[in-house]
Structures are given as C-alpha cells and as structure tokens.
Amino acid sequence: MEVRRREGYHGTGPGAITPDGCAVELYSRIPVDDSPDLIARSVPAGATILELGCGVGRMTHPLLERGFTVTAVDESPEMLERVRGARTVLSPIETLDLGEHFDVVLLASFLVHAGSEDVRRGMLRTCLDHLAAGGCVLIQREGSDWHDVVPRERKVGDGVARVLSSEPVGPGVNSVHFEYAFPDAVWTQTFLSRPLSTEQFEQALAEVGLRVDAYLTDDGTWVRAVPATTT
Ligand SMILES: C[S@@+](CC[C@H](N)C(=O)[O-])C[C@H]1O[C@@H](n2cnc3c(N)ncnc32)[C@H](O)[C@@H]1O
C-alpha cells in the first residue's frame, strides 16, 4: 500500500511521521488517559473491538489488558510495528473492507473531524459496515469550545502539549497547529479539523445510517452510536 502525506496535514520532529502528521516517537511517550476505562464501562465484557487509527497501541494495550480482543487498524506501518498482542491491519480507515463484523468499532482521537467530508463519510461507513448485530460504535469527538480556547496547553508526561492556533482555511474547515515540547525533543503537527456542532455531528451519523445511542461523558466528547434501524 502506498502511504502518502494527506493534504493539509504534516508534522516535524524526530522519527517517522504518519500521513496525517503524527510522530510515532511522540505517541510512544504520551501517557494514555482514562479512555480505556470509559470504553470498558460502555461495552460488554470480552467484546471484540475493531480499533480504527490505533497508532502505537496506546489504547490497544490497555484494552487487551481489560480482556477485549482487538483488531488494530492504521495506515502507518511504523505505528503498527509497535502494537503488541493484537492483530494489526495496515489500511486507510475510509476504504477498509475486512468482510468481518465486530461487537464494537472504535473511532477515537477526533478522527471524525476529518478535514475532508468524503473521508469522514468513508470512516463512518467503515464503522457501520463492520458492526455485528447488536454492536455499537464508540466515537471520540472534540469538545464544544475546542477551537475557541486557543492558545492553550496541558502537561503530557514530562512535556507540554500546546495548541498554538486554529485558523479557518476553507468553508467549515480549520487548520490546527500543535506543538509538543519535551526536555529532549520537540514535535509539531498541523492538521485539518472540521468542527461539528452536536446537530452537525448527529447529521453526519445519520448520513451513513447511524444514530446516537448515548452521550457517555458530560462534555459529550464520547458517544455510543448504533445503526439507525436499531430500536
Ligand atoms: C492522533 S493519532 C492517535 C493514535 C491512537 N488512537 C492514540 O490515541 O494513541 C492518529 C492515528 O490515526 C492514524 N490515522 C489517521 N487518519 C487515518 C486514516 N484515514 N486511516 C488510517 N489511519 C489513520 C494515524 O496514522 C495515527 O496513527
């Protein structure tokens, strides 16, 4: 598979950089938050999970430890090389067609905000097409003020993650510039993000035949979705 840089996305810093500008070395050192526990609370124990955009396995590994069976998908071979204990699949999410079905499909890391609406639709269709009967999709979306409270920063391990800017570059699309500064290295990532109000997010789900089953966090950033035909 030929992996090319995605237009509007790039990154700098030591080591391999993915087509969407993520640094493999950086994701190997950012500690995971409480997402694996939230996921574990929100789906049946022992479920089969299709994890889309798994990176180095920051979430994959804690999910395996919690007893889930994970198939981990990413378009970066350098990211997948670092995943342990899960089956890995090298593929863009939006064209994935495994011909298999899973209890849970996980689309985290704000990938639903893809700059291209076609890519977003493709990703959400992939979610729906890989769902087993009775299954659910877990989606992580941006907070409502995500593009407004800029610049901002937070600690990550012994470093700092800074959102330096988020500027409109087209109708409904922003270019976001991040910097990750550690004592021994600095990485940057520039990527496109399409902010989605709750109404726009629900419309995006509806376009592919999904609907919200539950907002799992008070800030609405984690969502469980199911096929729209499910009662
Ligand atoms: C921000 S990183 C997050 C990785 C992981 N979810 C985590 O929390 O550590 C996004 C990952 O998704 C992958 N990715 C982004 N867009 C993708 C796409 N359209 N198809 C496949 N992989 C994609 C990147 O290669 C990268 O590894």
> How do strand 69-74 and strand 87-90 relate by DSSP bridges?
parallel
Centre of ligand 1 to C-alpha 171, Å, is: 24
Residue 3: band (very low, low, confident or very high) from pLDDT cuts 50, 70, 90: low
pLDDT of residue 4: 82
Give this prediction's pTM: 0.97
Determine if ligand 1 sits within 6 Å of the CB of residue 51: no
Q: What is the pLDDT of residues 116-131, one digit of tens each?
A: 999 999 999 999 999 9
Determine if ligand 1 sits within 6 Å of the CB of residue 63: no
Whole-number Å distance between alpha carbons of 64 and 139: 19
Q: How does DSSP classify residue 80?
A: H
Q: Return the exposure string of 37-55: e unless at least 16 CB atoms fall within 10 Å of the residue's CB, then b.
A: ebbbebbeeebbbbbbbbb
CA atoms within 13 A on the CB side of 87: 10
Contacts 24+ apart (CB under 8 A), 87-93: 88/54, 90/1, 91/1, 93/52, 93/53, 93/122, 93/123, 93/126
Q: What is the pLDDT of residues 59-110, one digit of tens each?
A: 999 999 999 999 999 999 999 999 999 999 999 999 999 999 999 999 999 9
56 token code pair? 């180095």
Q: Kindly tell me if the per-residue pLDDT of 133 is higher than 60.
A: yes
Determine if ligand 1 sits within 6 Å of the CB of residue 58: yes
State the closest ligand 1 atom to the C-alpha of 51, by its place in the atom list counted from 1: 6
Q: Kindly tell me if the per-residue pLDDT of 220 is higher than 90.
A: yes
Q: What are 44's strand-pairing partners?
A: none
Determine if ligand 1 sits within 6 Å of the CB of residue 59: yes
Residue to probe by mutation, ligand 1, list 27, 52, 120, most atoms within 8 Å of CB: 27
Q: What is the pLDDT of residues 18-60, one digit of tens each?
A: 999 999 999 999 999 999 999 999 999 999 999 999 999 999 9
Residue to probe by mutation, ligand 1, list 56, 74, 190, 221, most atoms within 8 Å of CB: 74
Q: Which domains does the chain have, with CATH numbers?
A: 22-143+196-227 (3.40.50.150)
CA angle in degrees (0–180, nearest 5) for 102-216-93: 40
**Amino acid identity, position 45:** A
Residues 6+ apart with CB under 8 A from 81: none
Determine if ligand 1 sits within 6 Å of the CB of residue 74: yes
Q: What is the pLDDT of residues 192-219, one digit of tens each?
A: 999 999 999 999 999 999 999 999 999 9
Residues 6+ apart with CB under 8 A from 157: 29, 30, 31, 182
DSSP labels for 116-171? SHHHHHHHHHHHHHTEEEEEEEEEE---TTTTTS-SEEEEETTEEEEEEEEEEEET
Q: What is the pLDDT of residues 137-174, one digit of tens each?
A: 999 999 999 999 999 999 999 999 999 999 999 999 99
Residues 6+ apart with CB under 8 A from 77: 3, 90
Q: Kindly tell me if the per-residue pLDDT of 230 is higher than 80.
A: no
Q: How does DSSP classify residue 57?
A: T
Whose Cα sits closest to atom 1 in ligand 1?
109
Whole-number Å distance between alpha carbons of 199 and 216: 17
What separation in angstroms does the CA of 47 have from each of 10, 51, 70, 96, 136? 35, 12, 9, 20, 11
